[in-house]
Amino acid sequence: MPPYGGGVQNLDRYLTSSPMNAIDEAHHDWALDGLPADPHGLAAVVRGVLIHRDWAPLLGVHPEPDRLADQHVRSTRDVVARILALAPQPLRDERPLPDRMVGVCRHFAVLHASLLRRAGIPARARAGFARYFGTGWSDHWITERWDGRWVRHDAQIGPAARDVLALAFDPADQPPGEFLTGAEAWLRCRAGHEDPDQFGIFDEHGLWFVEGDLLLDLAAINGVELLPWDAWAGHGPGWVPTESEAAEVDRLAELICRDDATEIRARYGQPDLRVPAQIVSFVDGSPRAVQLDPALVEVA
């Protein structure tokens, strides 16, 4: 299995915005003026308008509940609107830390990918696991951008964070093995190369969690980027798959890793995998039914 998949088919698909990740150019054109056109510059823009929920206290920012609620915003249209409501100035202007929208890794990756596509660079957000935040594999999202190959770019990690994490590689052009998509993680666990109990976040780990990220990644590469705690298919905590269940997920993981966009789109379009308008969101660990705008789950 190639580490980053094939991915050369239908690159135009990754230049096209979906309802979930589209930027509202009509209403926000003034805020998009003067943006850089290069991946590194756009990543810096993203870091200048967002602050990670879990990093905020480390930076001396302690958001009130209404600000923490911003982490549940899904569409890029609404993310940009919230950023501008907090600080009505062009996105190119770096905000003071307290004025940035509170998000999580998913928001950094999706906004970065949206801005890259706007700049004419094929891009997509990927859900999976990073091993550069400490021991084990942490639930994480990054951007993939096309530059003759899929480049794995973590827009959340700027120069300061790179130094704090003591990374010995470039987070904007990662070598294989620093980040695994959900599908890659699943196949490595199934082959016995990784321990599934090392994959997850907080007190949630295991093969069930890996399957969840695989499904989130499948939806994301089809233009429906949900929140990391959203669910609509698969199995829940404590799931111990039968061999037939595991083999079915094996086939899906292998399909994703082959990275044939047409083949992936066809499988995602089946009723058992496509994201419906009603999903379950595990907010603070408690399941809640969420009704999405049906337009947001349409595939472009």
Residue 1 lies in a domain: no
Answer yes or no: is 22 within a domain: yes
User: Mean pLDDT across the chain, nearest whole number?
Assistant: 95
Q: Count structural domains, the chain.
A: 1
Interval 168-189: pLDDT, tens: 999 999 999 999 999 999 999 9
The candidate with the shortest Cα–Cα distance to 217, out of 293, 275, 154, is 275
- Has residue 93 been placed in a domain? yes
For 29, the domain range is 11-297
User: Are 142 and 154 spatial neighbours (Cβ–Cβ below 8 Å)?
Assistant: yes
pLDDT tens for each residue of 212-234: 999 999 999 999 999 999 999 98
Q: What is the pLDDT of residue 17?
A: 95
pLDDT in tens, 262-300: 999 999 999 999 999 999 999 887 899 999 999 999 886
pTM of the model: 0.96
Q: Has residue 2 been placed in a domain? A: no
Q: Is the residue at 29 inside a domain?
A: yes
State yes or no: pLDDT of 65 exceeds 90. yes
Q: What does the pLDDT average to over 148-158?
A: 97
Average pLDDT over residues 186-204: 97
